[in-house]
């Protein structure tokens, strides 16, 4: 039996008044252990640290604008990939993989009335995999096998989100789109042939949720909740058909929700 063990420490603080300027900061520490679990002979045990400073302004009427910077660093315990030797040989690296993710986030909240809230998010994300060079096998345009050595690459993500809530009958609608481009990761078709194009992934996510407050017994809120969403992802990396690349899924959920007041 394979288990998973994790420990997390999260510290956050917000300072400032309910109106005007405010600042906030989050600090997170994590440890992940997967005993006897390997991916391609490599462990995925890791340690991580995250830091998110931010500042914003709350306008009259509850309108809010906030900017944040998010930094995440993950160090793997035993995940050594490939290294290209001066003589052209590819061997196992002596250095473990590390992962750095940085995001610039802008959140805007607009409240035209007490019953309606509109929220817009813009996020630009850069991901850098360190010591993650890999030899990837493919087929050249001539039909012969052709291995390529992929050095460190970065991933750029753009996300847009819009949501709103209305009164006792709460309605939430969500629309999200992101595009992820790779600097050196070349795409392959379904037959594992190198296309000569850099890999690019797209994601469209649409959702609608409705919640109706039924009762408030004993200091709680009992609501009937319904949710429907559709997620579509596609990539010019047709070799991979997975939750990271080419698939779509529709989810429908109906249930009861209890919240303490």
- pLDDT value at 2 more than 70: no
Structural domain boundaries enclosing 57: 1-132
Per the domain annotation, does 74 fall within a domain?
A: yes
Indicate the pTM of the whole model: 0.77
Q: So what's the pLDDT on residue 175?
A: 92
The number of distinct structural domains making up the chain is: 1
Per the domain annotation, does 113 fall within a domain?
A: yes
**Cα 103 to Cα 196: distance, rounded to the nearest angstrom:** 29
Per the domain annotation, does 58 fall within a domain?
A: yes
- pLDDT value at 182 more than 70: yes
Query: DSSP letter string over 135-164?
Result: EEEEE-TTSSEEEEEE---EEEEEEEEEE-
Per the domain annotation, does 19 fall within a domain?
A: yes
Per the domain annotation, does 159 fall within a domain?
A: no
- pLDDT value at 77 more than 70: yes
Cβ contact 18:10 at 8 Å: no
Q: So what's the pLDDT on residue 219?
A: 81
Q: What is the mean pLDDT of the chain?
A: 88
For residue 180 the two structure tokens come to 């992820």
């Amino acid at each position: 039996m394979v288990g998973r063990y994790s420990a997390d420490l999260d510290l956050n603080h917000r300072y400032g008044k309910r109106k005007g300027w405010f600042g906030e900061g989050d600090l997170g520490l994590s440890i992940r252990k997967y005993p006897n679990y390997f991916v391609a002979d490599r462990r995925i045990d890791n340690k991580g640290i995250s830091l998110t400073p931010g500042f914003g302004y709350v306008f009259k009427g509850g309108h809010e604008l906030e900017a944040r910077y998010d930094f995440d660093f993950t160090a793997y315990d035993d995940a050594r990939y490939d290294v290209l030797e001066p003589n052209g040989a590819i061997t196992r690296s002596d250095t473990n993989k590390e992962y750095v993710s940085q995001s610039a986030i802008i959140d805007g909240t607009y409240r035209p009335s007490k019953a309606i809230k509109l929220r817009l998010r813009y996020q630009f994300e850069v991901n850098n995999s360190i010591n993650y060079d890999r030899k990837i096998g493919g087929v050249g345009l001539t039909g012969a096998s052709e291995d390529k050595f992929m050095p460190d690459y970065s991933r750029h993500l753009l996300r847009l989100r819009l949501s709103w809530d209305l009164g006792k009958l709460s309605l939430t609608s969500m629309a999200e789109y992101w595009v992820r481009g790779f600097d050196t990761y070349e795409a392959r078709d379904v037959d594992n042939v190198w296309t000569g194009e850099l890999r690019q992934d797209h994601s469209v996510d649409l959702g609608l949720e409705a919640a109706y407050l039924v009762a408030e017994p004993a200091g709680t809120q009992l609501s009937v909740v319904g949710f429907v969403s559709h997620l579509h992802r596609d990539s010019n990396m047709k070799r991979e058909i997975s939750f990271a690349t080419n698939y779509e899924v529709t989810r429908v959920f109906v249930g009861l929700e209890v919240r303490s007041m």
